[in-house]
Structure 1
Amino acid sequence: MPRPLSLHEDRLFPADPGVRAIARRLYGQVKDLPIISPHGHTDPAWFATNAPFSNAAELLLAPDHYLYRMLYSQGVAMDRLAVPSRKGASSADPREAWRLFASNQHLFRGTPSAIWLAHVFSVVFGFDVALEAQTADLYYDRINEQLATETFRPRALFDRFGIEALATTESPHESLDHHAAIRASGWGGNVITAYRPDPVVDCEHEAFAEALGRFGELTGQDVMSWQGYLEAHRIRRAAFAAAGATSTDHGHPTAATADLSPPDAERLFQTIVSGKATPAEAELFRAQMLTEMARMSLDDGLVMQIHPGSFRNHNAQVFARFGRDKGADIPQATDYVRALKPLLDRFGNETDLTVILFTLDETSYARELAPLAGHYPILKLGPAWWFHDSPEGMRRFREQTTETAGFYNTVGFNDDTRAFLSIPARHDVARRVDCAFLARLVSEHRMAEDEAGEVAVDLAYNLPRRAYKLDRKPARELAGAG
């Protein structure tokens, strides 16, 4: 017999009955709040065309590197999992890929993926038996049947999930046509973009030359000159803001910043575009561009996000065959105190600039990030990210940052995902973990329960809206709190 699938109503809450009861009450105030998804990587084409999703494997498995990286670590080839390669779409039979995925569900025990998948299968698709080898075809057929209906088209799911705002991420050389189509469609879903300039900033990116050329074409600027290059950024940032963007995003290898003199910056730029830059010069240019982006954010009001610390594409063979973002990015130690000082010396005391910091290096939470955000007006801490977007990772984040930075130097939660159907699951996990953390503070008489209720609502809803400039009205009216 298949194993049953059910979601326990007290999942992720404390085991102690008294503390659990507090967590339940706090969660009751936030569980139905609208979802604010201010940073992520879903495809805007889904919402522009509203075409049906094709099949279970291509929707749930092939785009989700959290899933296939685990399978790959156990010797399952990615070309058997319907993962697209540099040559294009996979030739794998999607049903066979799904069966392979189903037969390996035990690999995800204890991982956040297991929690997210259980939520998707139970809440979104209505299954009451677990996915395993014997239920693989049942799942595949029933999911495909539902995907063919109107209620499972992208816009219908967006509305069903209660998403108030969702940001995708595009680069300066990319068209914003899908966002234009969304706005012209008459659909009320708030899908916006975010400005990710990495391909035209990082000369070590394999698409740098091509992206730079397209960047110049789109803006009509001479992007081989320093002033023309900077003006091209201003032009594209304005176009992104017109498409709804409220933020930029920077995925650099480190958090290094620089504040070169204009002549030195121009000389460095000429070395970069010559194709002769050393790794140290490439790093210095990325560092300088973070400061330039901060300067532009002061002018145009876009919130700045910095996501450093990933050794991208660590597996050279996977990168060669499958390209970027295929589960082979590895966290590395990251310095913030010295790395950010040039930018902070220039802009750290501004009150009209927001820089949201993320990390993959948990050792920096209490030592560097919380003290920095607890002092500099421009700095806020992004939530536990990527490898730490998990119940334990979220708990560690709160435990190590709250005493120094408080709750209000953080920005709530963002899901940062390509897996559209997992968005409500991820936000539910974050809300449950935060309520559990707050319940402990209440049980230890460190905070009154009404205060904890206000904080829970702020973390789930008000803080991300405010930090990413999406706020319209206080959420406590929606939550019935405070």
Structure 2
Amino acid sequence: MSPNGLPPDRLLPADPATRDVARRIYRSVQDQPIISPHGHVPPEWLAQDLPFKDPTTLLLSPDHYIFRMLHAAGVPLGELGVGGAELDEAGSRRAWAHLCRHWDLFLGTPVRYWLEDQLVDIFGVTERLSEATADASYDRIAEVIAGDNFRPRALMDRFGITVLATTDDPCDDLSHHAALAADDSFTPRVIPTFRPDKYLEPGRADFAESVTRLGEVSGEDTGDYAGYLRALEARRRYFVEHGAVSSDHSHVDVQTLTLDDGEASQIYAAALGGTATEQESTALRRHMLGQMARMATDDGLVMTLHPGSYRNHHGPTLAAHGPDTGHDIPVGVEFTKGLADLLGRYGTAEGFQLVLFTLDETVFSREIAPLAGFYPSVYAGAPWWFLDAPRAIGRYRAAVTETVGFYRTSGFIDDTRAFCSIPARHDMSRRVDAGYLAGLVVEHQFEEEDALRIATDLVTTIPQKAFKL
């Protein structure tokens, strides 16, 4: 951090002529509202509007980018409040001190960029984090978040977030979303997202228990395959009634196939009884991804696919701290052959929309862009998770634009539980896109007025169309 604040031209091109154009493009979108159609902020934060507890639980514990790097440096996750671990005041300070002590680990990473942006612009912390400044920075942030103007709803307004999607279990009653929708004093849209992964994976140890619960909540008998389908359809309708616009699917692959009803029923019964083979469980899961597409043509939910994560890579960490604790690792993934069955059935169906995301950036130009360049239903999802970084976003633009341009993409996805990082992440994307567009302008591929229009569309009409907003 600079003593004078953040450099105004950060992430803009170094070439002076290109930078001048990029400045104008960036300034045209700098203050545009934020549309966040895929994220993980808990809706109860906004429904209850309670003050944030402390700097660690606000900035460190929810952000897997931060705590996984500290864990790699030898800091135990339990000392960072990860996985539901409760920290008292002293423990919270110790966790913050770990971050400050290891601040140089984050040099060159987007995490450092996001955190510096938050520290300066939101909290007024301009001194570089270090062991020597740990207490002072902690105290400053704690002082700021104690004010009423720093409660979640006030921050929504300050950040300019007009749409915020959460990620929700199909059995959730969505009461927090209902409370927000009924509150006339709260104007942003906070919308649920249907996330059925554990109900579509017969190989999970808790599959039978999960679908039993699904039946109880939906009022359908999930003791057979037909009732299981009806239960999923009912819960999807419930989500649509509560404002949902998309369903979210994150399996290890996106291979799809179609089973006949008899075979699907047989495997489903075996899964409930715990006797389905791994091959059978995989087949039913791949069949059910196609069923989600079928249902989407009826209820209109946009289908988003986020494959390619090897979940819970470290067994001891899973046992000690639970899932989503930093050890999900990317693997290679294939789309073209895998989606042939699904797209053959629904790729040109009226009203069906499919957004393809990946952790394997080698498929952007080889598979995702060509698919989006033919199928009217398919959109090339923005870089997310390990790829939502400045250089990776630039590589994504270079990989997909020459095949599908800008209007078959999704708009930026922040995909975060770290609430205060949302404006920093979106600002980062706007700067990188401004630089990319400026390069095309100075190369005379199109005019600056075209770049200005595209920049605005990338943060407004493009995500609105891709997610039916």
What TM-score range do you get, normalising by the shorter chain? over 0.9
Corresponding position of 1:480: none
Distance 1:301 1:56, change over 3 A: same
The corresponding residue for 1:31 is: 30
1:310 is aligned to: 309
**Cα drift, residue 188 of structure 1:** 1.9
Query: Who is 2:110 aligned against?
Result: 112
Pick one of 111, 127, 130 that aligns with 2:128: 130
Specify the alignment match of 2:364 in structure 1. Answer: 365
Q: Does 1:388 align with 2:383?
A: no
1:473 corresponds in structure 2 to none
- 1:168 Cα deviation from its structure 2 partner: 0.2
Q: Secondary structure at the match of 1:304?
A: strand
- SS of equivalent to 1:134: coil
Name whichever of 31-40 and 71-80 sits farther off.
71-80
CA deviation vs aligned residue, 1:12-55 (integer Å, no higher than 9, x gap):
11100000011011111111110000000010010110000100
- Give the letter aligned to residue 151 of structure 1: N
Q: Alignment partner of 2:35: what SS?
A: strand
Comparing 252-261 and 11-20, the one that deviates more:
252-261
In the alignment, the residues of structure 2 paired with residue 155 and residue 205 of structure 1 have an alpha-carbon distance, to the nearest angstrom, of 37
SS at match of 2:132: helix
Give the deviation of 1:405 after TM superposition.
1.7
The alignment partner of 2:355 has SS state of strand
From 82, 100, 103, the equivalent of 1:102 is 100
Report Cα offsets for 1:233-280 as digits up to 9, x if no partner: 111111111111000000111011112222222222222222222222
| Deviation of 1:89 (Å) | 2.9
CA change 1:287–1:346 in 2 (3 A) is same
Contact 1:173 1:211 in 2 (8 A): no
* Contact 1:194/1:245 (<8 A) preserved: yes
Normalization by structure 1: what TM-score?
0.94
Once the 2 structures are TM-superposed, how far is the Cα of residue 469 of structure 1 from its aligned partner? 1.4
SS at match of 2:358: coil
2:213 aligned partner: 214
Amino acid at match of 1:44: P
Give me the identity figure in percent. Answer: 47
Greater displacement, 88-97 / 444-453: 88-97
Q: What SS is found at the alignment partner of 2:83?
A: coil
| Structure 1 counterpart SS, 2:21 | helix
Which amino acid in 2 is paired with 1:47?
L
**1:141 aligned partner:** 139
- How far 1:3 sits from its partner (Å)? 7.0
Selected match of 1:163 from 161, 174, 189: 161
The code of the aligned residue for 2:58 comes to L
| Native 8 Å contact 2:166 2:191 kept in 1 | yes
1:56 paired with 2:59, answer no
Aligned to 1:133, the other structure's residue is in SS state: coil
**Residue in 1 aligned with 2:68?**
69
Corresponding position of 1:250: 249
> Could you tell which deviates more after superposition, 405-414 or 384-393?
405-414
Which residue of 1 is the match for residue 348 of structure 2?
Answer: 349
Amino acid across the alignment from 2:173: S
Q: Which runs of 5+ in 1 are unaligned?
A: 471-482
Contact kept in structure 2, 1:5 and 1:129, CA below 8 Å: no
- CA deviations on 1:41-83 (whole Å, 9 max, x unpaired) are 0100101100001000111111111001001111111111122
DSSP-derived class of the 2:47 partner:
helix
**DSSP-derived class of the 1:142 partner:** helix
Kept after mapping to 1: 8 A contact 2:348/2:376:
yes
Q: Which residue of 1 aligns with 2:86?
A: 89
CA apart distance, 1:206: 4.8
List per-residue Cα deviations over 1:359-380 (Å, max 9, x = no partner): 1111111111111111111111
The answer as to 2:465 corresponding to 1:447 is: no
Q: Is the 8 A contact 2:83 2:325 kept in 1?
A: no
Name the counterpart of 2:337.
338
Residue type matched to 1:180 in 2?
A
Q: CA distance change for structure 1 residues 6 and 208 in 2, over 3 Å: closer, same or farther?
A: farther
Letter in 1 for 2:7: H
The separation in 2 between residues aligned to 1:214 and 1:356, in whole angstroms, is 29
TM-superposition CA deviations, 1:362-419 (whole Å, max 9, x none): 1111111111111111111110011000001101111111111221110111111000
CA change 1:351–1:404 in 2 (3 A) is farther
Conservation of the 8 A alpha-carbon contact between 2:207 and 2:272: no
Name the SS of the counterpart of 1:165 in structure 2: strand
Counterpart residue identity of residue 74, structure 2 = G
Q: Secondary structure at the match of 2:162?
A: strand
Cα RMSD over matched residues? 1.5
Q: What does the per-residue CA deviation read over 1:129-156, in whole Å, with 9 as the maximum and x for residues that have no partner?
A: 1222111111111211111111100000
Say if 1:351 and 1:377, in contact at 8 Å, map to a contact too: no
CA distance in 1, matches of 2:404, 2:350: 17
**What SS does structure 2 have at the residue aligned with 1:248?**
strand
CA distance in 2, matches of 1:5, 1:340: 51
TM-score (ref. length: structure 2)? 0.97
| C-alpha distance in 2 between matches for 1:306 and 1:319 | 24
After superposition, what is the alpha-carbon deviation per residue over 1:291-318, rounded to whole angstroms, capped at 9, x for unaligned? 1111111101110000000001111111
Distance 2:263 2:337 in 1: 21
Structure 2: runs of 5 or more not aligned: none
Structure 1: distance between partners of 2:335 and 2:196: 21
Aligned partners of 1:304 and 1:356 also within 8 Å: yes
Q: CA 1:228/1:148 → structure 2, altered by over 3 Å: closer, same or farther?
A: same
C-alpha separation in 1, matches of 2:120 and 2:325: 27
Contact 1:83/1:90, CA 8 A, preserved across alignment: no
- Structure 2 distance, partners of 1:147, 1:208, is 41
Question: Cα 1:347–1:3, aligned 2, differ >3 Å: closer, same or farther?
Answer: closer
How far apart, in 2, do the equivalents of 1:289 and 1:278 lie?
16
Q: CA deviation at 1:171?
A: 1.2
- Structure 1 partner of 2:397: 398
- Pair 262,5 (structure 1): closer, same or farther in 2 beyond 3 Å: farther
Matched, 1:10 2:28: no
2:362 counterpart letter in structure 1: T
